Amino acid sequence: MAVAIEALSWIELEKMSARAAFQRAVRQLQVRDREALGMAYREVLETTRRLNLLDRILEEAVGRAGYEELPFGPRAFLRILAYESAIVQRRPIDALRYVKASREILGWESLHPIEQHLGKLLAIEASSVLRGLPDIERTALRLSAPEWLVTYLYRLFGRAEALRVLSGLSILPPMYFRLNSLKGKPEDTAKRLEEAGLGLVEVPSVRGLCKVSGGQLSIPSDEVIREGLVCVEDLSTAYAVENLGVVKGGLVLDVCTVSGARTGHMAELMGNEGMILSVELSRRRARAWTRETRRLGVQNAQLVLADVGSLPSDAEFDAVVVDPPCSGVGTWARDPSGKWTSSPEMVSRSASTQWRILESCADRVRSRGVLLYFTNTITVEENEENILRLLRRHPEFKLVELKPALGSEGLRGLTLCRRLYPHRDACYTSFLAKLVKED
């Protein structure tokens, strides 16, 4: 409870991601119990995921003015209690244990002003706050989504399909492992994982990728991960790398490289030959990239901490993969905190940043080279409209088919692009476009 309350307070105070806030709370409180930390992280994620509905329940129980005036700690506790009582539907006697624990954590003085409302809170059913609301507002609360996105997707897909897409945004995809041939034989690694109790199903569309179909990570499987024999990689990311067409001895530009998993996949396909130039602006992500590429045994990649626009203008590459910063709508299942700071204005800013990066990269693709654009978001402004703009400004580029044709066709007439959705494709929401630069 202490870790969950502290993490939720940091999320609200500094607009941190759920993961970053949780890590800060753990360091701050110096909790080491793995079982307790697992429970706390689940509490943080599930409470954050349903924040709009929980706040509506609490405004009804406490009153909007009184609720908004509460300090961060008591408000975080009430959100946890509302989740446990109205969503999980704990018995009142079990919910009262949360109250007792929170008195010890926050002090009775902090909870005294709101204790008179706890009885009403424990009696509220989630469905009761949805009655009589307009469709957009009710859908946003029921599916734990920002109202602006509900309206946006209604217009983009129509109501029926929009509801399916919105429901999918809360689905956590299966875990995928890429068996890393740079460190060992994939068949030997698969055998070790199966002996450790993990069920693996080979993904036919991506070489070396397996879906974890059963079992839990254990000490033997942890050892396989530490040894760099496997890499956790989402289906959509692995699919993007497979379509990049990298070859041994090639020269590849990897823009906004994030964690290093994608770089490791490319290095494996290249047999650790040639050169991968990874470009990243964030020092934190650069450190993560360094740790991951070392773990995976990557030897043909170099990281540059810079903006891609600062690279020499005459530098040309056989393949360029662009994974620019985006609104992140497609990864809200992994970290739902971003949905409550999202907005149409954020989408517009992201699209502008993406276009600047995309145009800089277009100038660095050699003749007959490949440019692959990849995002984890759903809006056309960040996806199709950027590609349409590129095709207008750079007629030397031509869209080509991604193989195999996973997911659905792109929108705005871009049928050669691909869109992937959690409710259909068992991966994070993604958009992919592959272009070839003609002579």
Asked whether residue 67 carries a pLDDT value surpassing 70, the answer given is yes
Q: Provide the pLDDT confidence category of residue 329 given band limits of 50, 70 and 90.
A: very high
Mean pLDDT along residues 429-435? 97
Q: Residue 258's pLDDT is what?
A: 77
Among 183-192, 206-215, 350-359, 409-418, which is the least confidently predicted range?
A: 206-215
375-405, pLDDT tens digit by residue? 999 999 999 999 999 999 999 999 999 999 9
Asked whether residue 218 carries a pLDDT value surpassing 80, the answer given is no
Q: Residue 30's pLDDT is what?
A: 94
Mean pLDDT along residues 37-49? 95
Mean pLDDT along residues 211-238? 86
Asked whether residue 74 carries a pLDDT value surpassing 80, the answer given is yes
Asked whether residue 219 carries a pLDDT value surpassing 70, the answer given is no
Burial of 8 (0-12, 13-18, 19+ CB in 10 A): buried
Share of the chain above pLDDT 90, in %: 74
Mean pLDDT along residues 36-60? 95
Q: Residue 113's pLDDT is what?
A: 77
Q: Provide the pLDDT confidence category of residue 115 given band limits of 50, 70 and 90.
A: confident
User: Which CATH number fits the domain 2-130, given the four candidates 1.10.10.60, 2.60.40.1230, 1.10.940.10, 3.30.540.10?
Assistant: 1.10.940.10
Q: Provide the pLDDT confidence category of residue 41 given band limits of 50, 70 and 90.
A: very high
Q: Domain 239-437 carries which CATH code?
A: 3.40.50.150
Mean pLDDT along residues 311-328? 91
Distance CA 38, CA 51 (A): 20
364-375, pLDDT tens digit by residue? 999 999 999 999
Mean pLDDT along residues 116-135? 90
Q: Residue 225's pLDDT is what?
A: 87
Q: Which residue's structure tokens are 């891609």?
A: 308
Mean pLDDT along residues 218-245? 89
170-209, pLDDT tens digit by residue? 989 999 999 999 999 999 999 998 888 888 999 998 888 9
Average model confidence (pLDDT) across the chain = 92
Asked whether residue 234 carries a pLDDT value surpassing 90, the answer given is yes
Q: Provide the pLDDT confidence category of residue 111 given band limits of 50, 70 and 90.
A: confident
Asked whether residue 215 carries a pLDDT value surpassing 90, the answer given is no
Q: Residue 368's pLDDT is what?
A: 95
Locate the domains of the chain by residue range. Answer: 2-130, 135-168, 239-437
